[in-house]
Structure 1
Amino acid sequence: MKILKILWVLFFIVSCSKKEGHLYTFYYWKTNLKLDKDEKKALDRATVPCLYTRFFDVDKVDGKFQPVAVITKDQSFQTDKEIVPTVFVTNQTLLNISSEEIKFLAGSIYHLVQKKTDEYHLKTGNEIQIDCDWTAGTRNDYFRFLKELKRVSGKEITCTLRLHQVKDKKQTGIPPVEKVYLMCYSTSSPLEKSDKNSILDVAVLKSYLSKIEEYPIKNIEVALPIYSWGIVTNHLEKHRLINALSEKDLNNPNFKKINENEAEILKDGFYFGNYLNKGFRIKIEEISTEQLEDVILFLQKKIPHFNIIYYQLDSKFVFDRKF
């Protein structure tokens, strides 16, 4: 009997620590909609019947609202997935905005989403997602905007939720939506000198989300990073990014390895489409399967059920990765 009890305890411990299977799909964040064979294969295998597709950004330029980098579509962009239009709104767009401007902004965004949906014959449903890094200073106007967009569109409006907006929810407020998408990345700035992985530091994420189970909105989906980049540091300790680099890109006879994810350039020249000088350093930041599993196991204890949206669908990031 005692042995049987021990076996049950061990079974319970193993079951609770095991990563559950989660339905998943992707964000698509390129301006020109097109799919190569690796991207199409990864999307076809995705178990959520949606693709969260960025349609355009909205910014304020010279005091006027402007759509930025509006999508175009290539013939190769063919999918049976339902497209969820996603719009990024800069925080500065919401600064000192009037009630009339909120109405104008919501109407303009909805009409442009509809225009692109019709123009490119995209199969969309009842959801529009807004991505915004709102702050305590813009929260009230942002929330009014979300309500107005719901009113003019008649759609379900959802929004992204950043880590600081969870941790500081008393200051940043709770958005008036029924579903949020928790962005489990960008744990620090890549342009600051730091030994941490700016895309995802799991310890930092866990500290920010230590009380995520208390968040008032219970319908939470989880966005996880699969992207990578190289952070280039010049002689003045200034930083810039080169997207989609990985550790294997440091295997170059003109580079001197400092450690497994950092190298110093030994010879001036063009590297990865950029002219880089001798003495510049490149630090690679990418995300391992083990890091993602650690985050998923942590969140499983706090959020009853969630789907995963990987950022982002790109052959550079989905090739050879198992989901």
Structure 2
Amino acid sequence: MLKYSRWLIVIAGLLTTASCRKSGNVTTAFYYWKTSFNLNQQQAALLKQTGNNAYIRFFDVSWNDKEQRSYPNAIVQLNELPAGLNITPVIYITNKTFENTADTAVTTLASHCNKLINQLAGEKKINYTKVQVDCDWSLSTRDKYFSFLKAFKKLNKKQLEATIRLHQVKFKDRTGVPPADRGVLMFYNMGKLNADLQQPNSIYNSDDADKYIAYLGSYPLKLDIALPLFSWAIHIREGRVIQVYGKIGRRQLSDQAHFEPIEGQANYRAKTSFFLDGIYIKQNDIFKLEETDSNTLNAAAQQLTQHLPKQKHTTIIYYELANIDLSKFNQETLTQISARF
């Protein structure tokens, strides 16, 4: 009996070691997309518990039609940063910027972006090791965008990541593969926003993902994964989508004084006209609620791991920390989902 007990202890130890080895190959991280970096106590705790890794959007690059030039927009205010925080700067560049930027000005644009990143990082003594560029490029802007990435990499000299959409994986021969060290697959926003209440969740649904995901095995860039933590309500009036609201959720829509459920548990009709947090809602307006929860993330992880090539290390980046619903997502849940990779 003693020998049997010892074998149980050995087996348990081996399982624990194997489990630790697997989770050691995965890093959990969060996007932070607000213009002012401020964490509440719960957000800071979650960040620390999962490894202290944040991908912070430093600024956007937009195009000014009036002045006919690109400009930095929504520059982040980096306030108090938690000790030991590992920060990856992210810049979002609109496709319109590359549509209007001359070929000869691309290198100058890369230089300006590199200078601003280093200025923001230097002010807070941030020693970053990589930069992520987010741009949903098109066929007409591909060459300029790829030239930008090459020029930026030459100037910045850190690891360069580029975000990748599912259609860019499937049609890589047409859309091209960005000249970056790694890609980050944005595994959300894969359906079209529409007023049809029977259409599946546009944030994530397996049917839409199935149209593209089989092509992951042949994609030449190593891929990290971005997964959604957010939910939203699609505001529909007279059969047309008029807006999408992240701040309207099931709690607001369950208010029986103002809404009634229709065609299932995720669609609601306004019973009267009123204002909700400054938003005008007209009688008979419909809200189509699209939610993300742990079941959604587990389904996405299961689908992805069937097609992702094996690699030594993967980072799972959750979008996003500033607006996370801590009643749905905690350290244990997110760590378990990350470990599936």
TM range (shorter): 0.7 to 0.9
SS of the residue corresponding to residue 110 of structure 1 reads: helix
Q: Find 1:87's aligned residue among 88, 91, 94.
A: 91
Aligned residue for 1:244, secondary structure, equals coil
Q: Which residue in the other structure is 1:175 paired with?
A: 178
Give the partner amino acid of 1:160: T
Match of 2:275, SS? strand
Equivalences for 1:1-323 in 2 at 5 Å?
21=23, 22-47=26-51, 49-62=52-65, 63-75=68-80, 77-119=81-123, 121-191=124-194, 193=196, 195-217=199-221, 219-235=222-238, 237-252=240-255, 253-258=257-262, 259-303=264-308, 304-305=310-311, 306-321=314-329, 322-323=333-334
Matches of 2:238 and 2:208, distance apart in 1: 29
The gaps in structure 1 that reach 5 residues or longer are 1-19
Q: Measure, in 1, the Cα distance between the counterparts of 2:142 and 2:92.
A: 15
Per-residue CA shift, 1:190-238, capped at 9, x if unaligned? Answer: 2564612111112211221112011011x21000001011111123623
Alpha-carbon shift at residue 52 of structure 1 (Å): 0.5
Counterparts in 2 of 1:192 and 1:156: CA distance versus 1, 3 Å: farther
What is the SS of the residue equivalent to 2:184?
Answer: strand
Q: How many residues align?
A: 301
| 1:47-70 deviation per Cα after TM superposition (whole angstroms, max 9, x unaligned) | 3x5210001110111220111111
- Offset from partner CA, 1:121-142 (integer Å, 9 cap, x none): 1523221110000112111111
- Secondary structure of 2:154's partner? helix
My pick for the range that moved more, 237-246 or 181-190, is 237-246
CA displacement at 1:96 relative to structure 2: 4.9
CA distance in 2, matches of 1:25, 1:316: 13
Note the C-alpha offset of 1:92.
1.2
**Under a length normalisation based on structure 2, what TM-score does the superposition of the two structures give?**
0.83
1:176 alignment partner AA: P
In structure 1, distance between residues paired with 2:34 and 2:219: 31
Task: Tell me how far apart the structure 2 counterparts of residues 199 and 52 of structure 1 sit (CA, whole Å).
Answer: 20
Partner SS state of residue 238, structure 1: strand
Q: 1:315 to 1:69 in 2, by over 3 A?
A: closer
Give distance in 1, aligned partners of 2:323 and 2:105: 40
- What secondary structure sits across from 1:149 in the alignment? helix
Q: Return the offset for 1:317.
A: 2.6
- Displacement of 1:169 in angstroms is 0.7
Distance change (3 Å), C-alpha of 1:66 and 1:315: closer
Contact 1:25 1:309 in 2 (8 A): yes
**2:91–2:133 contact (8 Å) kept in structure 1:** yes
Q: Deviations over 1:152-196 (max 9, x none)?
A: 112221110011111111110011112110000011232564612
CA distance in 1 between counterparts of 2:70 and 2:235 reads 33
Distance verdict in 2 for CA 1:244–1:205, change over 3 Å: farther
Secondary structure at the residue paired with 1:210? helix
Residue identity matched to 1:159: A
Equivalent position SS for 1:23? strand
Letter in 1 for 2:299: D
User: How high is the sequence identity, in percent, across the aligned residues?
Assistant: 28
Counterpart code for 1:203: D
Paired amino acid for 2:27: L
**Displacement of 1:276:** 0.8
SS at structure 1 position matched to 2:126: coil
The offset of 1:87, in angstroms, is 0.3
TM-score when scaled to structure 1? 0.87
Distance 1:239 1:204, change over 3 A: same
Q: What is the SS of the residue equivalent to 2:325?
A: helix
